[in-house]
Amino acid sequence: MISPVIGRLTKNLPLRVVFTVPVLLQLVGVVGLVGYLSFRNGQRAVQNLASQLRSELSARIERELKGYFSAPHDINRLNATALVYGELDIIQASAGENFLFQQMKIHPTIAFVYCGSANQGEFFGVLRSPDTGELQLSYGNQSNQFFRDYYSLDVRGSRRHWLYRADRPYDSRTRPWFKAAIGKERPVWTDVYIAFTTGLPNVTASLPVYDRAGQRLLGVCATDVVLPEEFRHFLKGLRIGKSGQAFVVDRSGHLISSSTDESLMVGTGDNVQFLQAVDSQHPLIQSTAHYLLARFGSFEAIQTPQQLDFWLDRQHQFLEVLPFRDEFGLDWLIVVVVPEADFMATIASNTRITIVLCLVALGVSLIVGVILTRWVTSPILNLNVAVKEIAQGHWDKRVNCDDRTDEVGELAKSVNVMAMQLQQSFETLEAQKNSFSRFFPSEYLKFLAKQDVTEVELGDHVSKDMAILFSDIRSFTSLSEKMTPQETFDFINDYLQRVSPQIRAHNGVIVKFLGDGVMAVFPDRVEDAIDAALAQIRALEDYNQQRQQVGEFPIHIGLGIHIGHMMVGIVGEENRIQGDALSDNVNLTARLEGLTKYYGVPLLVSEDVLKKLPDSHAYQVRFLDRAIVKGRTEPIAVYEIVDAEPETVQVLKSETLTTFNQGVQQYQLGQFSVASQFFQAVLAQNPNDQTAQVYLERIQFLTDQGIPTPWTGVWSFTQK
């Protein structure tokens, strides 16, 4: 219907006008509309992206600060208990270094753990050497005229060699951390100060310790955190646009930390001072500090989160300020500032969109040209276009030849028959390909860098560090005894259809199914393995609800995760191949999964898994044991991911975590009677904590059978 209309309108017009004017009008209209939409979208994108980025970065920094500054107060409470019960001798320095040593090993971000006596200012603690990172014992009392001695420690935390003696006496009672705790009579943070031992800026968590009656002051326990190091590495690692910066200041305007390499201290020797943010050599930090002081009058006046903007050197800057406080006295400001120029990538993206839309406009113009060309040219063009589309794989394309009986019509009918036959052949091949893909899924082919299943060959493999996951249904043998073979088969398939997609959804590759179990690897990130395990447990919860509705018992699974070097690929023989993973790390992961029944937890991970996590606080983790599994000679640290438990159990384990950790520490130190008290306290609050019950049974066994010498706190398993 279009062609006759165009014919009447353009019958007396030159062909140049007929083909040019419509195309030109369309291009002008489409490009104008696209340009306007691109401009509006660019404005909204910059504003939204700036707000989201500032809020996200501030929240991440706040979470990191909370995690970074929570452990010191937990350590102080442990040391206060040890001091009250005589397990920590700070007067004579005769006992306690092993206890403090273990704390430093567990918390690598802590610089110094120590206690000072209210008697004559005696001092006793374990520090991390700022030069070598090794742990050292330091104490000062009457035996050395309060000139602190330093000793190296062996792997168990016992003093080994005398290193050196300080050049001046030390009285704990005169130090800021001691005075701050006594003055407040509660747990506190000191002001930022220069450490006596390391010469570095520190902030200290301190706690006054009283006797059992709560009347007499015994001393103060404290934990040092070196400010510029660990947290500054975190700030530097943030992606704040191309040139944005993040920094933390106290209420006096001192730079606590920043994402730059600028020194936070000015002066030398006894004249060293903390750098003021307004005196920073970095223009963006300095200008931001001046702007905040000009707007609010002082840093103390900023009490609520603020999203602001200002101009610097004719450049628009986006700014967010977030107050950070904790219950022990920290009161800082988190500042994130990003130049608007860093978001120009969004504008570039809009430009690309504009180009794409212009190409679309050009395509529309070409379609109009084709229509006009068909009106002018012969019917052969229709057949030519159809044949080209069929050649490109459009098998459903047909040539309309109902009104033609000549040679062109006969040719068109032959082309239609050929297209139909090609379509049937292609559909058959596609069905066969889809059938093969179930044996070698697309993620497996991607993992092996294969385009098609026909490229897979015996011996193809990938060798690298990967996280590996084993899962297994608990008490499956007992369940299967109550089923017919067909029911068992249906049950396994029903279960695997629910948990297997969770592995693929988190970038995992299922290596193989092991009856009721699954072996999978995660080649990219260790977090993928943990998230996949948690997702399987949540899917199983939904499955169990359906089973209970039809009168069937719920099922439970155990999962183990480890990371290490392994080979994953194709094994077998020429006429029968399958995927598999080969490494001693595979066997270790299987042993971890088996230990879930022993400890009574759903999800176990090795210490290597935790070391690979970029954010150690992303999951609730509980240290369970140091053990030697069957088939290995070296111990491994075993941890539980508490997030895998139901919410009620998570709450109980969180509430008893400190008590449980104290029990484990006392157990590893060989203080079985004290450890029993802690584990009994855990069971009193959480009677279903099987791990605590396991420790009590171990302690009873070791008490009856005799404690191995030397005692290392490592448990050896003789069964899988």
Q: What is the DSSP string of 257-322?
A: EESS---SEES-GGG-EEPBGGG-SSHHHHHHHHHHHHHHSSGGG--S-EEEEEEETTEEEEEEEE
Strand, coil or helix: 366: helix
| Token pair recorded at residue 313 | 């050197």
630-664 pLDDT, tens digit per residue, is 888 899 999 999 999 999 999 999 999 999 999 99
Quote the CA–CA distance of 372 and 12 in Å, as a whole number: 15
- In the structure, what pLDDT confidence band is assigned to residue 532 with cuts at 50, 70 and 90? very high
For residue 197, the model assigns a pLDDT of 58
Contact 150, 159 (CB under 8 A): no
- pLDDT (mean) for 306-332: 83
- The H-assigned helical ranges of 69-199 are 71-84, 97-106, 176-184
Q: Highest mean pLDDT range out of 21-30, 392-401, 444-453?
A: 444-453
> Any residues with CB less than 8 A from the CB of 144 and at least 6 apart, and which?
165
Q: Given this model, what pLDDT does residue 107 score?
A: 87
Residue 113: phi and psi, rounded to 5, are: -125, 125
127-154 pLDDT per residue, tens:
998 788 899 999 999 999 999 999 999 9
Phi/psi for 538 (5° steps) reads -65, -40
| DSSP designation for 706 | -
Confidence of residue 486 (pLDDT cuts 50, 70, 90): confident
Q: 10-14, 532-536, 640-644, 669-673: which range is least confident on average?
A: 10-14
pLDDT exceeds 70 at position 473: yes
pLDDT at 378 (0 to 100): 56
Distances (CA, A) of 620 to 98, 625, 627, 651: 27, 16, 21, 11
CB neighbourhood size of 429 (10 A): 10
Distance in angstroms (rounded) separating the CA atoms of residues 249 and 255 = 5
The total of other beta-carbon atoms located within 10 Å of residue 489's CB is: 12
Is 374's pLDDT higher than 60? no
* CB-based contact 565:463 (threshold 8 Å): yes
The rounded Cα 668 to chain-centroid distance in angstroms is: 30
Sign of CA dihedral 112, 198, 156, 82: negative
Q: Is the dihedral of CA 489, 491, 493, 496 positive or negative?
A: negative
pLDDT at 229: 61
pLDDT tens for each residue of 68-88: 788 899 999 999 999 999 899
pLDDT of residue 179: 93
Peptide bond into 501 cis (omega under 30): no
Question: What is the helix (H) or strand (E) element at residue 518, kind and residue range?
Answer: strand 517-522
Beta bridge partners of 510: 520
Measured distance CA(451)–CA(588) in Å, rounded: 33
Supply the angle between the helices 97-106 and 657-668 in degrees, to the nearest 10. 120
> What integer pLDDT is reported at residue 49 of this predicted model?
62
Helix axes 657-668, 71-84, angle to 10 degrees: 60
Can you give the pLDDT at residue 600? 94
- What pLDDT band is residue 166 in, cutting at 50, 70 and 90? very high
Please give the pLDDT value at position 283. 87
Q: Is the pLDDT of residue 224 over 50?
A: yes
How far is the CA of 141 from the CAs of 66, 122, 247, 687, in angstroms?
35, 5, 41, 45
Given a contact cutoff of 8 angstroms between Cβ atoms, the answer to whether 82 and 88 are in contact is: yes
The confidence score (pLDDT) of residue 512 equals 87
Using alpha carbons, select from 175, 200, 172 the residue that is nearest to residue 190: 175
pLDDT at residue 42 in the model? 61
Whether 51 has a pLDDT exceeding 70, the answer reads: no
Taking residues 399-403, what's their average pLDDT? 62
Residue 554 pLDDT > 50: yes
Q: Is 59 helix (H, G, I), strand (E, B) or coil?
A: helix
What pLDDT sits at residue 350? 63
pLDDT over threshold 60, residue 431: no
Report CA Rg, the chain.
Answer: 35
**Confidence grade of residue 591 (pLDDT, cut at 50, 70, 90):** very high
With contact defined as beta carbons under 8 Å apart, do 638 and 600 qualify?
no
Kindly indicate the confidence band of residue 63, based on its pLDDT and cuts at 50, 70 and 90.
Answer: confident
- The dihedral region occupied by 572, where left means phi > 0, alpha psi between -120 and 50, and beta the remainder, is left
What's the pTM value of the predicted model, to 2 decimals?
Answer: 0.44
- Lowest model confidence (mean pLDDT) among 88-92, 281-285, 589-593: 281-285
What pLDDT does 576 receive? 72
- The fraction of the chain above a pLDDT of 70, given in percent, is 77
Averaged pLDDT score across all residues of the chain: 82
pLDDT of residue 671: 94
Q: Let me know if 28 is exposed, middle or buried by CB neighbors in 10 A (0-12, 13-18, 19+).
A: exposed
3-state secondary structure of 640: strand
- Count of Cβ atoms closer than 10 Å to residue 447 Cβ: 20
| CB-based contact 643:653 (threshold 8 Å) | no
Per-residue pLDDT, averaged over 241-266, amounts to: 82
Note the pLDDT of residue 536: 95
Look at 398 and 696; give whichever has higher pLDDT: 696
Per-residue pLDDT at 331: 82
Answer with the residue of higher pLDDT: 20 or 523. Answer: 523
Average pLDDT over residues 10-29: 62
pLDDT of residue 376: 47
- Structure confidence by residue, pLDDT tens digits, 288-303: 999 998 989 888 889 8
Lowest mean pLDDT among 6-20, 147-161, 479-493, 597-611: 6-20
State whether residue 66 is helix, strand or coil.
helix
pLDDT, greater one: 460 or 647 = 647
Model confidence at 553, pLDDT cuts 50, 70, 90, reads confident
Share of the chain above pLDDT 90, in %: 37
Mean pLDDT value across residues 576-601: 88
Which amino acid belongs to residue 281? Q
Is 402 exposed, middle or buried, given 0-12, 13-18 or 19+ CB atoms closer than 10 A?
Answer: exposed
Mean pLDDT in residue range 169-186 = 92
Residues 458-467 have a mean pLDDT of 85
Q: What is residue 137's predicted lDDT score, i.e. its pLDDT?
A: 95
